[in-house]
Amino acid sequence: MAIRGILRPGEVCIRVMDKEKARRHYGEIMGLHEVLEEDDKLYFKCWDEWDHHSVVLRVTDRPGMDYLAFKVYSDAGLDDLEAKLKGRDYEVEHIEAGVYPKSGRRIQFTLPTGHTMQFYAEKEQLGNTMGAHNPGVIPDDGVVRGVETPGLDHILLGGQDIDACLELFTELFDFDFVEQLIDAESKMKLAVFLSCSNKPHDIAFVRQPEDNKFHHASFRLENAADVVKAADRLGKYRVPIDVGPNRHGVTRGATIYFFDPSGNRNEVFAEGYVHYPDIPTLTWDTDELGAATFSQDFTPRQSFLEVLT
């Protein structure tokens, strides 16, 4: 298997302002499984994720993201990543095992866009009820619910120096530079999409006038029909919709965007294409901004471009 090193976005900590409203949104409506509650935090996993949790909600007085954590293949990989970061003069903080629940040791640093990012290699696994021996094809009854998302897919972050983030992820972390949106006249990069897997993106950055901004956390679905079903459920419970259902030109993913009760944007995302390292970086420019963002009606939305937490 070729995928080693950094595996995937394994955990995102989202700030929420009302614990019970957030619990209902992410638990009952989204269908994530609550696995732990601490004083000011709720921990959730998606049904087909083996690790203990992938979403942490922290109750505070403002929305946004506290940190993003990627899981790496081995504990030795943390030492390698730390050496690379220190070689570029990044300050690296050590977090001992157990400080974060059910998790091994972590390293933490600040991205050029001001976001807090962590790497970890170990987390307790709860499984998906199907087991690893003769697992079958569906989980136990009642496990799949809500919008039926099997897992956390990717994160989109906003900040000023996305060029430095592009360099960091491609040169130090071995991510592929999969797609970009550029200004048609100046050729300035406005958004970059990066992958450590075969997905169109595992993380993306959009240029913004303020650092440390959170655009959305995206949850995977199996197909475009499931996106429409998710829209029906979101409509039933009057969840505020930003865009969708639609399809992106960038990544080709079927999508719907919506907001949690604190104003944080969520996405459900399906399909897209399979990425391989020998595929050249795909480029969209602002002459086709509508089709790049939403290909079915080629209409850019100001809220999508400007509203971040």
Active site (catalytic) residues: 154, 201, 216, 248, 257, 267
Backbone angles phi, psi at 122, to 5 degrees: -125, 135
Distance CA(99)–CA(79), nearest Å, equals: 18
> What helix, strand, coil percent values describe the chain, rounded to 5?
20, 35, 45
Distance CA(40)–CA(25), nearest Å, equals: 17
Q: Is 83 left (phi over 0), alpha (psi -120 to 50) or beta?
A: alpha
Which residues lie across from 214 on neighbouring strands? 157
Contact predicate 218/261, CB 8 Å:
no
Contact predicate 184/232, CB 8 Å:
no
Contact predicate 233/147, CB 8 Å:
yes
